Amino acid sequence: MDPVTVIEGCAIATVDAQRTEYRRGHVVVRGNRIEAVGAGAAPPSDPGARRIDGRGCLLTPGLVNTHHHLYQWITRGLAVDDTLFEWLSTLYPIWAGIDEDAVRVAATGALAVLASTGCTTTTDHHYVFPRDGGDLLGAEIAAVQEVGLRFHPCRGSMDLGVSAGGLPPDRVVEGLGDILAASAEAIARWHDPSFDSMLRIALAPCSPFSVTPELLRESAALARETGVRLHTHLAETIDEQNYCEQTFGCTPAQYMERLGWLGADVWYAHAVHLDDAAIAMLAHTGTGVAHCPTSNARLGAGVARTADLVRAGVPVGLGVDGAASNESGAMIEEPRNALLYARNKGGPGAMTARTALELATIGGARVLGRDDEIGSIEVNKLADLALWRLDTAAHAGIDDPVTALVLGSAPPLAMLIVNGRAVVREGEVCTVAMDAVAGQVAQAQAALIAKAG
C-alpha cells in the first residue's frame, strides 16, 4: 500500500487555473500523487498516515528551475566584473579541465542548494565536453539521483571553435557527427517519457556564436524524431545581437526562425533583447522562455521584457542560470528578482507577487511541457511540494503569505517533497551531507583552477 502523508493547518497557494488559495487548508498525498486538497482540516485518513503540522507555513508547488549549468558550481567567484563574452573567454580555458568527478561534485553542491531553496524540478544545460572528460552527463545524473530532484538534463554541444569564427576554444568543441551520435545515445539511455518521470532529456546546442547552423538543424531534426525538447541560449546580450547581425544578417530570433527552432517543444534561455515582432512570433508558436533575472543582472546583460512576454502569452519560467554567473544558485531568489526587475522596467503594475510565483511554478512546468503533471497543487498531480516556514521574526506582521514569500526574506523550508519523498526537513537537506559536499566542492574548485594554471 502506498504511504500517505497529510499536511494540514497551513496556508496554501495552489497556483491552479482558478488560482485557488486557502488561509488554512490541507493536502493529502498518497504515494507520489496528490489525493486531496482543500480548506480546513484534512478528512479522516489511513491510521498509519504521516501527519505534518503546517501551522505558520505556506504550502506551494515545488519551484521549477528552467535553466542551469550545474558544473559551474566549482567555478564561482571568477570574472565577476566582466561582460558575457569577456566572462566566457576567461572561463572556457578553466572549464576545459572538467571531468566526471568534478562534474559529480559540482552538480551535487548546486542541486543541494536548489533543494534547500524550494526547487523540486530542475533542468541543466551541459555543453562543455572535453575529449578526456569521461561520462559527464552520467555524472550529473548520478548526482541528481542522490539528491532526489526531478531532472531535465539537456545534452548541450558546441561545434564552432575560435578558429572557425566562434567564441569557445577549439579544444572544447566537438564534431557534428560525434555530437549527434552522443545526443542519440543520451536519449536512448536516459530519456523517460512516462507521466511521473524523474528524468527526461532535451537537446541543447549552446548558442548562435558557438554552434553551426548545421548543428542547429540536425539537432532539431533528431529531437523531433525522438520526441524530446530543444533548448538554447538566445538574445542574452547586445554583443550576441551584433554578432548575429554581422554574421547572419538578422537578429537572433530571426536566425532561429530560419532554422526551424520555433514551437511548443522549444525554449530559450534569457531572451533579453527581443523586439515586438520576436515576442509575437514566440507567442504565436508557443515557444518558451527561461527568464534568469539574477544572472542577467550579474552580467549586466539587460532586463528582459518579462511582463510583455507574459502579456503576449509566451510560456515563461524562471532559471537560476549557471553558478558562475549567479553564485547563490538559490531558486527562491528568482521570483523576487523577476518581480523587482519587471517593476523597475514597467512600474509597480508590471508584475504582481502572485504572477512571480506562477512563473516559478506552473510557468516553468509549462515551459518544460509538464504542466499536466507538476507546477500546481491539484488532485492527481505529482506530489512536488514546498512548505515554507513564515512564522519567523523576518516575516512577522506580513499578513499575506504569498507577499511574505516573494517579497520578504527567503524563508526556511519546513519540508520539501519531491515525487512524494521528503528531500528537505526543517531547512536541512536530508539526502546528502551538506558539510561533506561543501568540502568536496572547495577541493574540486582548487584542483580545477590549479589544472588550468
DSSP states along 260-273: T--STTEEEEE--S
DSSP state of 410: P
pLDDT at res. 101: 98
pLDDT at res. 168: 86
Q: Which residues of 267-276 are buried (b: 16+ CB within 10 A; e: fewer)?
A: bbbbbbbbee
Within 8 A by CB and 6+ apart from 396, the residues are: none
Percent of the chain with pLDDT over 90: 94
> Measuring CA to CA, how many Å separate 77 from each of 84, 160, 451?
14, 27, 17
Place of cell 548558442: 207
What is the maximum span of the chain, computed from C-alpha positions, in angstroms? 68
Set of cell numbers at residue 27: 493536502
| pTM > 0.75 | yes
DSSP state of 163: G
3 state DSSP class of 281 = helix
pLDDT at res. 323: 95
pLDDT at res. 381: 98
- Is residue 271 within 8 A of residue 304, CB to CB? The reply is yes
CA angle, residues 340, 77, 412, in degrees to nearest 5: 50
Distance CA 401, CA 253 (A): 39
Q: What is the pLDDT of residues 381-401, one digit of tens each?
A: 999 999 999 999 999 999 999
Distance CA 452, CA 425 (A): 39
Query: Nearest 5°: phi and psi at 202?
Result: -130, 160
Q: 33: exposed, middle or buried (C-beta count within 10 Å: 0-12, 13-18, 19+)?
A: middle
pLDDT at res. 46: 81
- Is residue 393 within 8 A of residue 43, CB to CB? The reply is no
pLDDT at res. 45: 77
DSSP string, 17-48: TT--EEEEEEEEEETTEEEEEEESSPPP--TT
Instruction: Mark the ranges of the chain whose per-residue pLDDT is less than 70.
Output: none
pLDDT at res. 19: 98
